[in-house]
Amino acid sequence: ILTEKLKADYWKPIQSGDLAQSDSLAIQNLITNPQTKIHPELYRLNQPLSPHLSAKLDGIEIELDKFRLPETENNLIVEGAGGLMVPLNSKELILDLIKHLNIPVIVVSQNYLGSINHTLLTINTLKQHQINIKGIIFNGDTNLESEDYILKYYGIEYLGNIPMLKNVDKLNIIGAGKNLHF
């Protein structure tokens, strides 16, 4: 949705499992604008597991120093592989990859019981590591009380609310993008 809305390039540096129907392929099939370029993954891992375990089963180790942002003059959406604390290898996390690439983060929070805690922990971790937070997008059913609490607690910029899509297709992607405030 962000890629379509911003007509940005897209890069998922690590794909774990489902290689025949990867996130990059799904995005490529859902984008309607000709400006977007899908950049190839650096690591394509066979098992749908956390990157560190999937890489281990594939007999490789993910090396942080190998990651470089793709060259582009366009905006670039970089999609992680799970949350901030997901391991890449025995000593580094997705958080370390974000710091290494020196990229800002858009937090996406789904409304469910416990989401205030999970979202505030995510924001707190990003702030502790001095990572630029561009804003937050809420996903799913609106819960104004929870959303308002999260926004006020850290003063995070509200970027919009994306409903759960029953049908993920080009028209619904474009429609959902209208809920984002950029």
pLDDT in tens, 161-181: 999 999 999 999 999 999 999
**Do 10 and 71 share a domain, yes or no?**
yes
pLDDT, one tens digit per residue, over 65-121 is 999 999 999 999 999 998 999 999 999 999 999 999 999 999 999 989 899 999 999
pTM score, whole prediction: 0.94
**Do 121 and 74 share a domain, yes or no?**
no
**Do 16 and 74 share a domain, yes or no?**
yes
Into how many domains does the chain fold? 2
**Do 76 and 2 share a domain, yes or no?**
yes
**Do 7 and 47 share a domain, yes or no?**
yes
Catalytic residue among 12, 56, 66, 178: 12
How far apart CA 141 and CA 120 sit, in angstroms, is 19
- Give percent of the chain above pLDDT 70: 100
How far apart CA 163 and CA 102 sit, in angstroms, is 30
How far apart CA 125 and CA 108 sit, in angstroms, is 14
Average pLDDT, integer, range 118-141: 98
**Does a structural domain hold residue 93?**
no
Q: Would you place residue 20 in the very low, low, confident or very high pLDDT band (cuts 50, 70, 90)? A: confident
How far apart CA 173 and CA 130 sit, in angstroms, is 32
**Do 110 and 51 share a domain, yes or no?**
no
- Is there a catalytic annotation at residue 56? no
**Do 9 and 76 share a domain, yes or no?**
yes
Give the domain range for residue 15: 1-80
**Does a structural domain hold residue 76?**
yes
**Do 6 and 62 share a domain, yes or no?**
yes
Say whether pLDDT at 182 is over 90: no
**Does a structural domain hold residue 86?**
no
Neighbours of 145 (CB within 10 A): 10
81 contacts: CB under 8 Å, gap ≥ 6 = 12, 13, 14, 15, 16, 50, 51, 94
**Does a structural domain hold residue 39?**
yes
